[in-house]
Amino acid sequence: MPMGPTPGPAWADVLTTGSPAWGVNAVLLVLTALYLAAARGHGAWPVRRTLSFLAAIASAVVTWNSGIAVFGHQAFAVHMVMHLMLIMVLPAFWVAAHPLELLRSALPERAGARFDAALDSRASRALFFPGTVLVFYALVVVLTHLTSFMEAMAGSMALHHAEQGLYLVAGVLFFHVAIGVDLLPNRPAYFVRYVLMALAMGVDTLVGVVLMQAPATMFPSYDLEGVHLGGALMWVVGDGLMMVIMVLLGRLWVTDASAKVDFGPWLESARQDAFREQTGAGRTDRAADLDDDDEALAAYNRMLARLDRGEH
């Protein structure tokens, strides 16, 4: 009589079990040494960025050396925890550490010029375009969870490791664009970043809800209860993490002196047109900031005075 899928491990076992990943740890050790050396050589590198980098390294150590790695291949819910660590937690801390900016400051003049040229290239602009990172993020999340990929991965450690790499790359690219203030060409407006994160949250919610309602035939290699729990983790914990990051992004927006009114080029143009139509402020050929224009401010005050008098 065929046996069904093995039930997932107890969470106490996940928390108390570990297995060192020596290859990963060696890479992490080298990255840590390089980052700390560059930060020390910089002279005025903010401590909070170094702490963010160390948090990213700690997240990686936990992900690949704990019960998350031991049970992440056979237990769907534990696999989902690994997914969230690799596509959200680790990339968010990594981006907050400003690795590109630190790397650029440590390069000699000629290498720095080539680095700048590479960042400003057409390929780099296409890679870090908001639509590109969103589509890549969505494809990785959807195709690895709602297709036969999960079943194939259950019997292949190679696919399991490849999936981890996909999660990490998708997360780093996405959060570099969505929350980063590091060196990137054409950094999108804060409003665009909020839209980007809201759409990504929608993808996570959709996949999480589908997994919560998945039938036993969808992933026969995995325990159905674990699949449903994994979907709940993706929906609740994934969206919760996104909300926390969006709050931090809002704080960054408020404290960024260069982003007083930052709705992106299309919405900002519409805002200025509507303002001029309502106030009667004239158009100018110069690209002035509407919020710093004395004439526009005077027109706005005249409009308020008319409204106070009951005029239409």
Q: Express each pLDDT in 81-120 by its tens digit.
A: 999 999 999 999 999 999 989 998 888 989 989 998 998 8
Question: Which pLDDT does position 42 carry in this prediction?
Answer: 87
Residue 287 has what pLDDT? 42
In a domain, 3, yes or no: no
Structural domains of the chain, count: 2
Closest by Cα among 252, 253, 273 to 262? 253
Please indicate, yes or no, if residue 163 is contained in any of the structural domains.
yes
| Ranges of residues in the chain whose predicted pLDDT is under 50 | 1-2, 260-264, 284-288, 312
Is 246 inside a domain boundary?
A: yes
Residue 277: the pLDDT is: 62
Residue 5 lies in a domain: no
The reply to whether 77 and 160 lie within a common domain is yes
pTM of the model: 0.80
Let me know whether 270 and 204 are in one domain: no
In a domain, 6, yes or no: no
Helix residue spans in 43-129 (DSSP H): 47-65, 67-71, 76-84, 90-96, 99-106, 109-119, 122-127
Query: Is the same domain home to 144 and 273?
Result: no
Q: Are residues 178 and 30 in the same domain?
A: yes
Same domain? 161 vs 278: no
74, 198: one domain: yes
Q: Within this chain, do residues 41 and 98 fall inside the same structural domain, yes or no?
A: yes
- Distances in Å between the alpha carbon of 11 and those of 86, 115, 188, 259, 297? 19, 45, 41, 44, 60
Q: Are residues 245 and 290 in the same domain?
A: no
Do 35 and 161 lie in one domain? The reply is: yes
Last residue of a domain, one of 220, 237, 255: 255
Considering the domain architecture, whether residues 233 and 273 belong to the same structural domain is answered as no
Is 292 inside a domain boundary?
Answer: yes
- Tokens for 239? 């969206």
Distance CA 20, CA 18 (A): 7
Q: Is the dihedral of CA 28, 30, 34, 36 positive or negative?
A: positive
On whether both 249 and 269 belong to a single domain, the answer is no
Regarding whether 294 and 179 lie in a shared domain, the answer is: no
Residue 1 domain-assigned (yes or no): no
Structural domain of 21: 11-255
- Is 2 within a domain? no
Separation CA 243–CA 246 (nearest Å): 5
Rounded to the nearest integer, the mean pLDDT of the chain is 85
Rounded to whole angstroms, how far apart are CA atoms 210 and 158?
A: 26
Interacting residues of 27 by C-beta distance below 8 A, sequence separation 6+: none
